[in-house]
Chains A and B, each alone.
Chain A
Amino acid sequence: MDSVFSNVDRAPEDPILGVTVAYNNDPSPAKLNLGVGAYRTEEGKPLVLDVVRRAEQQLVNDPSRVKEYIPIAGLADFNKLSAKLILGADSPAIQESRVATIQCLSGTGSLRVGAEFLKKHYHQSVIFIPKPTWGNHPKVFNLAGLSVEYYRYYDPATRGLDFQGLLEDLGAAPSGAIVLLHACAHNPTGVDPTPEEWEQIRQLIRSKSLLPFFDSAYQGFASGSLDTDAHSVRTFVADGGECLIAQSYAKNMGLYGERVGALSIVCKSADVASKVESQVKLVVRPMYSSPPIHGASIVATILKNSDMYNDWTIELKGMADRIISMRQQLFDALKAKGTPGDWSHIIKQIGMFTFTGLNKEQVVFMTKEYHIYMTSDGRISMAGLSTKTVPHLVEAIHAAVTRVD
């Protein structure tokens, strides 16, 4: 019998996931996985936060809790608390009821729902994204029906921000175009604008009536401070203008697999926010009806209990500090070894990832000879390093840089 799907092509494997597959297949005991963006402890293990386990126990042991459908927009208290977390408890936008917040499936789900909403209701359907950006971004926006353009972002010469290029490209964008901004801890480069640079970006965006869409996947995880990492988003909201925010709890609460996040749309008025929310629900219902209850309940439990909230901030700082320490250790070790080149970008970049500057050939070399796995663009996950494994990585980088062009 013929298949109706006989003309379906085999899809190419996802490059980032392919790294983990290759890593898993490597029998070497010295292998090191610096590919995927999930936090690892000093022992190289996944981490479930203590406060998350506590919250989960509390929920599971509460016989009054049920598993009914939650509203299409998600858990109400989760939504309020999430908005407060990113915008600040004293945010006028919240006090004026100008913020529509909808629980979504982590950052990806928030981006997709937001993009589908914009495609349907916003007059511009082009979105500008930084070059480079997270591999999944273009697909999320394309499938939502938006057309994707790039603005310059990373400067390989400095391994820092191409600020001139960024301002030029955003300055040339059509009025009203959507602009994707990584709120902090840019993925994959780790390069963030300074507060002064953010202010210039904000002025440019507002003067061209561009619509900011923030991807906030690392709040608290970048600097260790929730407020500091929210700074860029808050300066935009403080100017009274509109924006979208995709918020994820995957990294900062370690809730990766629970798929918890929120889409916030900051509007000019409460009336508009209310209409916007009603329309976002029409995007959600035919996609998955309503979001899952478990992850959002864990987050809400933690955010609304001041002891748990405090414990969370401590554990979060612990994770961020370990990553910052790994950056310092790697930099110091490369300097001590005398590895040619300027490696200061390792401590200047921020967040989970470092764009090492290594090229494809060097990456392949490091994988083959040293069993070190990273994405082919030279991006390494600092969260996958430990004090014990830094020397191995340094050896590999040194060899790659001195032996391979």
Chain B
Amino acid sequence: MDSSFSSIAPAPEDPILTVYFASRDDPSPVKLNLSGGSYRSEEGKPHVLQVVRRAEQHLANDLSRDKEYLPLDGLSEFNKLSAKLILGDDSRAVEENRVVTIQCLSGTGSLRVGAEFLAKHNHERAIFVSNPTWGNHPNIFSLAGLSVEYFRYYDPRTRGLDFKGMLEDLGAAPSGAIVVLQACAHNPTGVDPTLEQWEQIRQVVRSKSLLPFFDNAYQGFASGNLESDAQAIRMFVADGGECLIAQSFAKNMGLYGERIGALTIVCTSEDVAMKVKSQLLLVVRPMYLSPPIHGASIVTTILKNSDMYNDWTVELKRMANRILSMRKQLYEALQARGTPGDWSHIIRQIGMFSFTGLNEKHVRFIAKDYHIYMNYDGRVSIAGLSSKTVSQLADAIHAAVTRMA
């Protein structure tokens, strides 16, 4: 009997995972994995927020709680609080009931559900993403039935934003095309537009009737301030226009594995919002019926309790500050070594990652000789660094840059 699946080819391995496995299998006691996208403490350990543990204990000890199915759109309190978090307590769009928010499986799930909805209901199938962007973006959108295009974003010469290229490419996009905009802490580059640049981007997007789809995975985690990190999105919503927002609590609440996020669609009227919501449910039900209860309950517990909310903002700022401090330390260490080149992008970039500017040859050399693992595109997780390991990385970068082209 032959297998029905005998002609299946093994899937190509995910490049990020390849690096992870190499680092996992390296026996060196000084190995350092800077390829992943989760926060590490100063001791290099995964971090569960204290306020999260408290919330979880509180939930587990509440015998009145059950495990019934959530509604298709998730936990209603969670949805309301998530919308307020990203749009602001005083958001007119929320007051006017023009906002539909449904709980989804973290950022990825929010992007996929939003994309499937758009593939079905938006008249334009093209979706523009930045070059480069998160590795999973193109797959999510293609599988949802959209066709992926790129707009210029990263300038390797300045290791900053190719603003002119970005405006040109968005300006040339077909009317009604969807544009994926990372709200802050761009992954993988760490390069964000300034507020002035965001305003110009907004004008181009609105004048060309492009539909913004924000990927909001780092609110509060980039600058340390929840309001600042939401400004780009709020600027767009304030002009009365429509947009989609994929929101994740993976990083800012450290709830990675609980898969908790929300898709928000800001519409021009309450009537449209209700119809949109009913159609979103038709996407969700045949995908996984309804979302998981645990992570949403933790987030809700924290967001609605003012003491817990405050404690959360304090822990969040601490994480963001540690990352900022690591950037500074790495930059100063490279300056101290006189490493050739301009490394100021390390402190100009923001968020969890830095696009170091190292090439694949450098990266492989560093893995082999210094047991430090990063993505082949030179992306380093600053969140994975500590004061103890900064000098190890600085030495490695110095060696790589001075010894090879």
Contacts and interface: CB of A to CB of B under 8 A. Distances in A.
A96 interface: no
Contacts, number: 231
B57 interface: yes
A257 B292 contact: yes
B81 interface: no
B4 A5 contact: no
B2 interface: yes
A10 interface: yes
B287 A287 contact: yes
Given A143-B287, A267-B5, A60 B255 contact: no
Interface in A205-246: 211, 240-242
A337 interface: no
B338 interface: no
B30 interface: no
Contacts of A66: 46-48, 257
Contacts of A68: 38, 46, 256-257
A67 B285 contact: no
A259 B3 contact: no
Given A60-B57, A278-B11, A286-B139, A4 B294 contact: no
Contacts of B112: 286-288
A317 B2 CA distance: 40
Contact of A258 (B8, B122, B267, B292): B292
Contacts of A242: 3-5
B10 A109 contact: no
Interface stretch (B62-70, B152-160, B196-204): B62-70
A139 interface: yes
Contact of A67 (B52, B109, B276, B279): B52
B48 A286 contact: no
Given A3-B272, A8-B121, A290-B259, A257 B11 contact: no
Interface stretch (A76-84, A268-276, A326-334, A356-364): A268-276
Given A14-B281, A242-B4, A294-B295, A289 B136 contact: yes
Given A11-B281, A105-B289, A240 B1 contact: yes
A5 B242 contact: yes
Interface in B1-48: 1-6, 8-11, 14, 38, 46-48
B316 interface: no
Contacts of A272: 3, 5-6, 8
B339 interface: no
Interface of A: 1-11, 13-14, 17, 36, 38, 46-48, 52-53, 56-57, 60-61, 63, 65-70, 104-106, 108-109, 112, 121-123, 136, 139-140, 142-143, 176, 211, 240-242, 250, 254-259, 265, 267-269, 272, 274-276, 278-279, 281-282, 285-295
30 contacts: A1-B240, A1-B241, A3-B242, A5-B265, A6-B272, A8-B276, A14-B72, A38-B68, A38-B69, A48-B65, A122-B5, A176-B4, A241-B1, A257-B293, A259-B289, A268-B2, A268-B5, A268-B6, A279-B8, A279-B9, A285-B136, A286-B139, A286-B142, A288-B106, A288-B112, A289-B136, A289-B259, A292-B105, A294-B294, A295-B292
Interface of B: 1-6, 8-11, 14, 38, 46-48, 52-53, 56-57, 60, 63, 65-70, 72, 104-106, 108-109, 112, 121-123, 136, 139-140, 142-143, 176, 209, 211, 240-242, 250, 254-259, 265, 267-269, 272, 274-276, 278-279, 281-282, 285-295
